[in-house]
Every structure is written in C-alpha cells, then in structure tokens.
Amino acid sequence: MTEHRNLMTRRGFLVRASAVTAGALTMGYAAMPDAANAASDAGAVMSPNMFFDIHEDGRVVIHIAKAEMGQHVGTALAQTVAEELECGWDNVDISYVGFDPRHGLHITGGSWSVNWTFDALSRAGAAGRMALIEMAAAELGGAPEDYTAKDGVISGGGKSISYGELAKLGKETRAFSEDEMKALTLKGNGDRSVVGQSVQALDIPAKVNGTAIYGIDQTVEGMVYATPAVPPVRYGAKVTSVDDSAAREIPGYLEHVVIEDPLGTQTGWVMAIATGYWAAKKAAEALKIDYDLGGNAGLSLADIHAENLRLIESGEDTRLIVNDGDIEAGMSGAETTLIADYTTGVNVHAPLEPMNALVDIKDGVYHIHAGNQFQTLLMGLVGALGVEPEKIVFRQALLGGGFGRRLDCDYVVMACHTAKAVGKPVKLIYSREADTLMDFTRPVATVRMTAGLKGAEITGWKNSSASAWASARQAPAFMGPDLSGNEDKKFDGFAINGADHWYTMANQQALLSLNQVAQSAMPPGHLRSVGPGWQCWAVESFLDEVAAEMGEDPLALRLRLLDGSGKNAGTGATTGGAKRLAAVLQDVADRAGYGTEQPANTAIGLAAVSSQDRPSASWTACAANVTVDPDSGAVTVNKLTLGIDVGLAVNPDGVKAQLVGSALWGLSMALHEDVGFENGAIQASNYDGLTPLRMFDMPEVDARVMDVGGYPTGCGEPGTTAVAPAIANAIAKASGARVRSLPITAAKVKAAMNG
C-alpha cells in the first residue's frame, strides 16, 4: 500500500509573510498559493497547510497534521522540524491541523506518521532556516554565508538578530523550487541535537493540568445532546416503528430522530435528543423500537469461520499476492507436507473516550468538532451527504484513544444527520454499549499454512487466507491489483501484509479471499496492527511447527532463513533487510536467556516480524517466557523481552513506549479478549465482557530500541504482531500443546494437551 505515500507531494516550497497578521511570520509549502493568500486576506487565524509559525516573542508553533491519541506524535514531528530550523527546542510549541488538502492525505495510522513525513519536515525546517538567514543578512549587512543560526538566533560578524525580531519586520522571503528543496543538505546521524533525543512530550503538560481539549470536551452555545439506541444486530437492521411514550417521561428529553444514512455507515439507528447526555442515554434506553433485522440476524462466529474455510478450500475468486519461484514444483518435490490452520476471534477497539462529534450548522456551513484519524475520508463522507467542500469546517481535537477506530467517521456522519434533522447544534456521544456493540471490528481471519519439506529444506511455502476486508468497505482507493495482471482483481493489502515475510524461500505463494458473509454481518475496521496481527500469528507459529518437524531449533531456523538474499536485502528505508531482523532477533534471544534451562512447565518462545508493511518495515522481535499449568492449561506470561529497529529513533523514549504499549495490546488480544459474535450481534457491550489485560496480568517487560540510524520507520503497531506467536510457541515448548486459534485460553491449551 506504499503507493499512497506519493500523495504527500512537494510542489514548491514557499517561505513568505502570511499578510504579516498578528506579528507572525508564517512558513509552509506553496501548494495552492492563491487559496492561502485568500485565507490570509480574509483574516484567517491560521493556514493549516503551513508547517510552522514564528511569533515575535520567539515562539515557534509547529502545526501537526497527524492525530494525537497518546502516542505523542506531535513531539516527534516537531523535533524533526526544529532540528533543521535551529529554532531552539525550548521555543517550540505545537498545534493541530483540522483539514487542508494541501497536506495531501490526512491519515494517522499504519505506523506511518514519522516515516511518511520525516524527509519533508526536515527539508521544511532547513529551508526555513536558510530563508531566515538570508533575511538576516539583508537586514544586518553582508552575505548569508557570514551567518549561522542556533537556538532561534542568527549571528555573524559580531551582529545578531532573533527569529522573533525577524518576524516583527513583516517582510517576505523567497520561495524554494522543488529542485532547490531536493538539493538541500540535511544533517547526518552524528550532527543532530534534537532528533534522537528523548525530550519530554509537548502534549503532556496540558493533559496533566486538565487544559487539554478532547472531542468529548467540546461545547457550543445552544447545543443539544444525542445518543443512539442501537439495534440488536450489528448491521443490516431497519427501523419499522418507534414508541417514545416512556422516553417523554424523562426530564430533558426533547425528541427522537430515525437515521436513514444513504452512505450505510450504520443501520437501524434511532437518536434520542435531550438537554444533557444522561437524559439522552436514559431516553434511548426507554425508546420502544421495532425492527426488520435483515439477513444477518442468525449468523455466528462459527458461520464466518466456516465461510473462510470454504473460500480457502474452494479457491473461489482468490487474489494472488506473493508468487515466488514455482510453488507446484516445490510442493511436488517435498518428502513431507505440513498443513495447519490459524484463526482469530472478534476484537474491538474500545478506546476510553467513546465516539463523539459536535456538529453546528450555521448558514449552511457544517462546523464539525471531533477527534479523527482520517480527515480526508471524513471530508469525503460529509461531502457525499451533499455538503460542498467549502462549507465543511473540521476542527481537530485530541483523541482519547484511537487504535484505528477513529479511522472510521460514522460518528461524524451520524452527528451531521442529527444536527440537520433537529435544526440545532448537536453533540453526539456514543454510550459505552453503543460504542462496543457497533464497533468496526478486526476482521475474523483464517489462515491456512502449507509447507513442503525435504530434509532441512523448505521446498514450498503457501499461505491461503480469508477474511473481511476493511478497505473494501471504508476506502476502496487503498486497494490495488494483484499479481494476476487482471485489473479487476483488486485486494486489500491491510488484510495480507505480513504474509510477504523476509525469510528466504525459493518457492512460495500467498493467496487472499474476501469473505462477503463477514463483510456484511460484521463490518470490518482497521484495528491496531491490521493484517500483520493475524498473518504474523500464522507465519511465526507455523515456522516453529516446521522447525519441530525438521528437528531444528526455531531460532537457528529463523537465522538461517533471514539471510538477506535477493528481495530480502531491502532497499531505501529497509536497506539491510532480513539481516537487520536477524540482528534484533538474536539480541532478544540473548537477553531473554533463550536456550538456557527453565523451570518445569516453563519455556521461552520466539517471534520475529517486520510490521507494518514491507516497504516500511520495522524489525521487531519478541521472546515470551511462559509457564503452563499442566492440570488446568492456564497460561502465565512471566516476561516479555522485546527489541525493535526503526532506523533512526526520532524520540527513543517515545519509540520504547510505543513498543511496550503495542506489545501489551498484543498480549491482551492473545490471552484475554474474547468478545464473541452470535445471532448477528457482538456479544460484549462493555469492558466487563471485553476483559482486557489488567494490571495484575502484567509480566515483566524488557524492551530495547536498537540504535542503527538511517531513515526512520514506524513504531505504533509492530510490537502487537509479535507477542501472540511468541506466546503460542512458548506454550508448545512448555507443554507440547499447539494452540492455533486466538484468543489462547486455558481450555484450548488443555484440549491441545489432551489431543
């Protein structure tokens, strides 16, 4: 899916006065300059396409076009600009961009934020520094070469002037062409003083003192509250009648609105409108609603898994994703064939802040306040309701958790429908129950792994998987054609990434099928780690099974296959390829004490992954030290040893926090979260049914960020993908029980021990 990186184009760089409003010198790319000038002439507060403002007091406000949801991405991006700008870190502040098409694709996900922007933001800072030096030279006399910039001050020849003083002058500076931008010399690994440092996250103080504004904190005068009464099936219901007589007895209740969304983001919803949230929630519970439940009412998780298997076994309408060598020859030349199926259950996002949006329609202009991860999609969906782009104003807020849930925009669409219907500003808040029951879940996946073996050789390796595809529902433009050459055979890379691993195998194939039953009954979403979450679960578990069949140590087999040959040598940000993954794996194994004697019923399992997607791989490994109770099958994770190579770690502490956080997310899904799906409905409605990882479940964690330099990749998701297979591999070593379905429960372990 890396072709979408090209949407972040650089057409020309402009460093210019933005009508010199409020004593600020504004800098940014010159895409759509006429629109930028019009905004300035109209007295616009800020142009979101601009990367930073320099204020006359010396403050540098760097504008962040990524969503902040606890990962402190704004700090890392600000470090990137500040490094080359030489503005002095103590002078830096950040603000968040709502939406501006000049930023290209507005999306925060895929562990892409730093990876996609590092070069552009570095050049933005460098060009800004050069332009300021030129301005200073013109003001103080002499040539630009006579001056240097440091900590927001330009000095040379005994003279100096600060960035703030230059801002006060209100003069324009020159534009940089695209060729000039490309020709800029950026700092190398040994020259940086801000990038590579674990500076404190800039968003923390406001979150500590209570001044941080999340979507749920937004208010406008005259607003009413709305919360949905949701149907008893996840998708496909239609409202046939509503009796609100009981709701009318609730103080504060105003009315109800039946939502019929032509975009189909949700179905069968009725909004209860009230003067406060609690009244709206009680009213929603009091509404008596009749439904046509549609065709999904009788479906269960078992039905979805059965359809996955049918698609895999029939080969119906498959997509060819990986096709190296000759898979048929490889399989026919094998002495032994090993086959195993790996499955996942139902996983929901469950961020602490439920979905919410405030929509205020003034003179036909939709003023939208929310926290969102995919503003480009948001703007498109609201536009599809018949609202002209120039009549949509989106104001980004902090996100109280996202994990991919806020890549969807249903809550904004539903708030728009409701505000239009009631003719007042509407603050829509999903109840915890609605948020959970109507989640866009991680696709329920089945992966069939097949290996042909001959002595110590893997002669053939085949991955066949089936699931719902989130992109087919949410953003079909993300899908591309498979290797068949048929332009109509498109696929969702977010359902298969991870199958294209970095192990050298002469003959391998990966196939993918779309489960339309699941697509309709349980609309899929992007949940932290997406496809690698189940593909790496299958690949890394199966590799241990292959090692056992061949009588080879799993670590030795991995290191042998991670030889970095051919396509696995890597290129660009992934230069070094599989050998970098091997180095991380070896380090993790050594620190974990892999190969040393362990207590009874205890073992160490390994996994090595390259999540997120192959062109932006982050080399990650996990060793799980696990004890299995031989009587009950209960699993205790004693310790997780983690390692990651992201190239250049812009903020090492931030990378480490993301590695640990994502690994604990993976641990929670591996052992604790079992939501279920029966009668067309998600079976959990709150955290008590979700049962995520608790503090008393916490293992010891040893995490290391490898310092290798180079170009930065992502860190928000890779740890998630390595934990489950490492645990399963440890369980197999400790007890002989091979569990192939997630979540791993004591009952499944015990059954495998007895089987």
User: At which residue do the structure tokens 């005068």 appear?
Assistant: 221
Report residue 189's pLDDT band, with 50, 70 and 90 as the boundaries.
Answer: confident
pLDDT single digits (tens) 371-384 = 999 999 999 999 99
pLDDT of residue 4: 26
For the chain, give percent helix, strand, coil, nearest 5: 40, 25, 40
Rounded CA-CA distance 748/726 in Å is 17
Range in 120-134, 219-233, 258-272 with the lowest mean pLDDT:
120-134
User: With 60 as the cut, is the pLDDT of residue 184 above it?
Assistant: yes
Contacts of 209 (CB under 8 A, 6+ apart): none
User: How much is the pTM?
Assistant: 0.93
Distances (CA, A) of 214 to 40, 222, 274, 358, 529: 28, 20, 22, 11, 24
- Enumerate the β-bridge partners of residue 357: 428
Report residue 611's pLDDT band, with 50, 70 and 90 as the boundaries.
Answer: confident
Whether omega for the bond prior to residue 612 falls within 30 degrees of 0, making it cis, is: yes
User: With 50 as the cut, is the pLDDT of residue 24 above it?
Assistant: no
Rounded CA-CA distance 231/259 in Å is 12
Burial string for 646-657 (b: 16+ CB within 10 Å, else e) reads bbbbbbebbbbb
pLDDT of residue 485: 87
pLDDT of residue 560: 98
Contacts of 423 (CB under 8 A, 6+ apart): none
Contacts of 601 (CB under 8 A, 6+ apart): 627, 628, 629, 630, 734, 735
pLDDT of residue 50: 64
What sections of 170-298 are H helices per DSSP?
178-183, 204-209, 277-286
User: With 80 as the cut, is the pLDDT of residue 222 above it?
Assistant: yes
pLDDT of residue 14: 28
Higher-pLDDT residue of 51, 343: 343
pLDDT of residue 488: 92
**CB burial class (10 A; 0-12, 13-18, 19+) of residue 302?**
exposed
Phi-psi region of 144 (alpha: psi -120 to 50; beta: other; left: phi over 0): alpha
pLDDT of residue 423: 98
- Going across the sheet that includes 253-259, the strands are 253-259, 269-274, 224-229, 426-429, 356-362, 365-370, 392-396
CA neighbours closer than 13 Å in the CB half-sphere of residue 474: 25
Report residue 3's pLDDT band, with 50, 70 and 90 as the boundaries.
Answer: very low
Report residue 714's pLDDT band, with 50, 70 and 90 as the boundaries.
Answer: very high
**CB burial class (10 A; 0-12, 13-18, 19+) of residue 41?**
exposed
Here the tokens at position 291 are 């439904």
- Enumerate the β-bridge partners of residue 481: 490
Q: Output the average pLDDT for the chain.
A: 92
User: With 70 as the cut, is the pLDDT of residue 672 above it?
Assistant: yes
Report residue 641's pLDDT band, with 50, 70 and 90 as the boundaries.
Answer: very high
Report residue 44's pLDDT band, with 50, 70 and 90 as the boundaries.
Answer: very low
Torsion of CA 159, 161, 162, 167, to 10 degrees: -170
